[in-house]
Amino acid sequence: MAEQTPTPEVKPEVTFIYDLLKEIQKGDVRIPGFQRPFVWRRDQMLELLYSVYSQYPIGSILLWEPSEVLRTSDWVGPVQIPKGNASAALVLDGQQRLSTLAGVLVPLSGSQVDPRDEDPPRWNVWFNADDRTFEHLRDEARPAQYFPLRKLMDTVEFLNECQALQMRAGDVDKSRRWIGELQRLSQVFQSYKVPVIRIRHTNLTQAVEIFARLNSKGQRMSADQMASALVYDETFDLASHIDDLCARIRGMGFGDVDRPIVLRMLLACLDEDVYKTDWTRLTKEKRPDVAQVVSRDGPKLRDAVEQTIRFLQECGVFHERLLPYAMQLVVLVGFFFKRPQPTVEQRRLLRRWFWVSSFTGWGGGGNPSRVGGLVKEFANVVAKNDVPTDQLQNMRLDEKALPFPKSFDTRSARVRALLLVLLQQKPRGPDGAEIREPWKLIADRGPSAIGHVVYRLEPKELVSSPGNRIVAPEEAHRRQGKAWLAEVQDAVLDDVLRSHAIPRDAHNALMANDPAKFVGLRQSHLEEIERTFMNAEHVTPPDLFTAPELSPIDADDEPPTAIPME
C-alpha cells in the first residue's frame, strides 16, 4: 500500500517575545541559509522597538518545521546559537524583526562576532528614561538616564543597572521617575506577545505556497525572497547571487537597486516572465536554468549589468534615484546579456527608447503585459537584429511626450526626466564654478537637493511649479534660492543663470520682487529647453501650447508598509 503524504499543518499561536528569544538562544529557532543577511537600517531597528514599547502590532512571525535537514546560519543578529538541532524551526518570514529583537535584548556571551556583520555597534541600543526614546549611543558617552536594553531580560542585571542609574541621577525625584519608566519598560517587553504561525509536514515549496496564500492580503514576501527559497539547495543559493549583483551595482556608484528588480534581471536573461506571480513554479525543475545563468554565465551576467549602468551614465543617469523607471534596468540587462557587443544602430535605438519611455510614461499605468513583452522583444528580437528599425511591436517610439509637469514631484518618472535635462545644463554654484557631480547631491539628500527659488508666492500653486525649483549647491541654499542668486557677482551671473535655465528677464523679475512673473518666464524657458532636448533625442514633444498637467505618480513594485517588516 502506497505511503500517504502527510497533511500539511498550519498552527497559529500567540507567543511572548521573551519565550521566542529563548527558543533562539537554545537553537530551536534558526535562520535558513536561503535568507538574505540582516539589512535593516538603524532607524528601522529603533522604529520596531518603539512599536513594541507602544504595544503596537509588529506583524506575525512565520516558522517552518522542515521534514529535511537544510543548511542554517549559526547567527541571529549578533547572537551565536548552538549547532546541531536538526528539528529546529526555520524563520520563513520575520528574520529582520527577530534579528533586531534578539540582537538588542539577548545578553551576549563570549567575544565572537559574526564576520559578515558590517556594523556591530548597531546592536547596542539604549532606552532614554527621561524622554522614553530608543537610541544608539556610545557607552563611554552615556548620560545618567540611559539604560542598556541588553540588560532588560536578566533580572539581576536589570536591578543592578537600576541601582546604578539611581546613584547617577543625584536627585531623588528624578531617580524615582526614571526607575518608574524602566519598570514600565520591563513590564511591556515581558508581557508583549507576537502572533506566530508554525508550518509542519511540508516541503519548502509547499511551505512557501502556504505562506503566499496566508499573506495574499497582508504583508507579502518579496519576489526575490520567494524565488530564493524555492530554488534553494545546498549547492545553489540564489539570495547570495542577488547580494553580489546588488553589491556590484552599488560599487559602480549607482545606489541600492531593489532586490526584486535584480531578480527580474535574472528572469529576463532566462526568457522568463519578469512579472511572474506564481512563484511556486520556480521549483526544482527550474533550478538548473537559474543556476546556469548565475553560475556558469555569471561573468556574462555581471558584464550585462555593468554595461547597463555605463549606458545609463552615458544618458546622464548616474544614480538609481534619477532613473525614471526601475524596469528600464531589466530591459537593458536582458538586451546586453544577449548582445554583449551591440552595433552603433542598436545603441542608437536603445538611447531613443530610453528617452521616449522616460518622457511618455511608458512604465506607469500598471501594464505588466506591455512591459514584459518589451523585455522579451529587446532580448530576443532587437538583440539579434544587426540592422534594427525604429519600430517596436510593444511600444510606439513616435508616441508624444506627456505634457510639461505642473508640479515638481520626483515620485513621477516624467519629473525625473525633466530633472535629467536640468542636470545636463551643468548647474553652477554662486561663485560661478560648476557643481561637481550635482547628481550626488540628489543621491545624498534626495528631493531636498532641489530647493525652491521663492518659498512663498501667490497664487500658491506656483510654489510647486518646476519654474520655482533649482539645484541647491549647499544644504543651506535649499529653502530660498533667491537669496544665493542675489549674491552672484555680475562677472559670472550669465553663466550661473544659463546653467540653471534661468533667462535674464526672469532673473530681473525675481530681483524686482515679482516672483510670479519669474516663475512664468522661467517655466516657458524650461519648456523650450526640454523641447529642444526631445528633438535632439528623437522624442516627439507634446503639442505646442499644451498646458502643463499634473504628471502621474509612479507606484513602486513593492509598496512600503506602515510598520517595518521585511
**CA–CA dist 94, 78 (Å, integer):** 16
- Residue 475: pLDDT band (50, 70, 90) is low
**CA–CA dist 471, 442 (Å, integer):** 9
**CA–CA dist 122, 472 (Å, integer):** 32
What Cα–Cα distance (Å) separates residue 418 from each residue in 186, 239, 334?
53, 36, 26
b vs e for 417-454, b when ≥16 Cβ sit within 10 Å of the residue's Cβ? bbbbbbbebebbbbeeeebeebbebbbeeebebbbbbb
Give the model confidence (pLDDT) of 176-219 as tens digits: 899 999 999 999 999 999 999 888 877 776 776 666 665 544 44
Say what the pLDDT of residue 184 is.
Answer: 94
Mean pLDDT of 58-86: 84
Say what the pLDDT of residue 332 is.
Answer: 97
Q: Which are the contacts of 361, defined by CB distance < 8 A and separation ≥ 6?
A: 402, 413, 414, 551, 552, 554
In this predicted structure, the answer to whether residue 320 has a pLDDT above a threshold of 90 is yes
Give the model confidence (pLDDT) of 493-519 as tens digits: 999 999 999 999 999 999 999 999 999
CA neighbor of 316 nearest in space, from 160, 424, 419: 424
Say what the pLDDT of residue 252 is.
Answer: 94
Give the model confidence (pLDDT) of 426-453 as tens digits: 999 999 999 988 988 888 887 778 889 9
Grid cell digits, residue 293:
545563468
Q: What percent of the chain has pLDDT above 90?
A: 50
Say what the pLDDT of residue 559 is.
Answer: 33
Mean pLDDT of 143-157: 91
**CA–CA dist 81, 73 (Å, integer):** 9
Tell me the pLDDT of the chain averaged across its residues: 85
In this predicted structure, the answer to whether residue 491 has a pLDDT above a threshold of 90 is yes
Phi, psi of 475 (to 5 degrees): -55, -35
Mean pLDDT of 385-395: 83
Mean pLDDT of 322-338: 95
- Helix orientation angle between 17-26 and 95-105, rounded to the nearest 10 degrees: 90
In this predicted structure, the answer to whether residue 478 has a pLDDT above a threshold of 70 is no
Mean pLDDT of 283-301: 74
Q: Of 74-78, 291-295, 454-458, which range is least confident?
A: 291-295
In this predicted structure, the answer to whether residue 557 has a pLDDT above a threshold of 60 is no
SS (H, E, C) 294-353: HHHCHHHHHHHHHHHHHHHHHCCCCCHHHCCCCHHHHHHHHHHHHCCCCCHHHHHHHHHH
Q: Which are the contacts of 456, defined by CB distance < 8 A and separation ≥ 6?
A: 463
Say what the pLDDT of residue 285 is.
Answer: 61
CA neighbor of 122 nearest in space, from 139, 143, 103, 97: 103
Say what the pLDDT of residue 505 is.
Answer: 96
Which of 542 and 92 is assigned the larger pLDDT? 542
**CA–CA dist 469, 195 (Å, integer):** 47
Which of 219 and 491 is assigned the larger pLDDT? 491
In this predicted structure, the answer to whether residue 1 has a pLDDT above a threshold of 60 is no
Give the model confidence (pLDDT) of 354-377 as tens digits: 999 999 988 776 577 888 899 999
**CA–CA dist 48, 33 (Å, integer):** 24
In this predicted structure, the answer to whether residue 492 has a pLDDT above a threshold of 50 is yes
Say what the pLDDT of residue 69 is.
Answer: 75
Mean pLDDT of 444-469: 87
CA 435 to chain CA centroid, nearest Å: 27
**CA–CA dist 222, 212 (Å, integer):** 10
Give the model confidence (pLDDT) of 256-288 as tens digits: 898 889 988 988 988 888 876 555 555 556 667
**CA–CA dist 428, 416 (Å, integer):** 20
What are the strands, taking DSSP E only, across 26-132? 29-30, 61-65, 75-76, 79-80, 89-93, 125-128
What Cα–Cα distance (Å) separates residue 566 from each residue in 33, 94, 221, 453?
16, 7, 7, 39
Q: Cβ of 189: how many Cβ atoms within 10 Å?
A: 21
Q: Under a CB-based contact definition with an 8 Å cutoff, are residues 181 and 131 in contact?
A: no
Question: Which of helix, strand or coil describes residue 19?
Answer: helix
Q: Cβ of 138: how many Cβ atoms within 10 Å?
A: 9
* Composition of the chain by helix, strand, coil, percent to 5: 50, 10, 40
Phi, psi of 405 (to 5 degrees): -65, 135
Q: Of 142-151, 167-176, 461-470, which range is least confident?
A: 167-176
Mean pLDDT of 325-346: 95
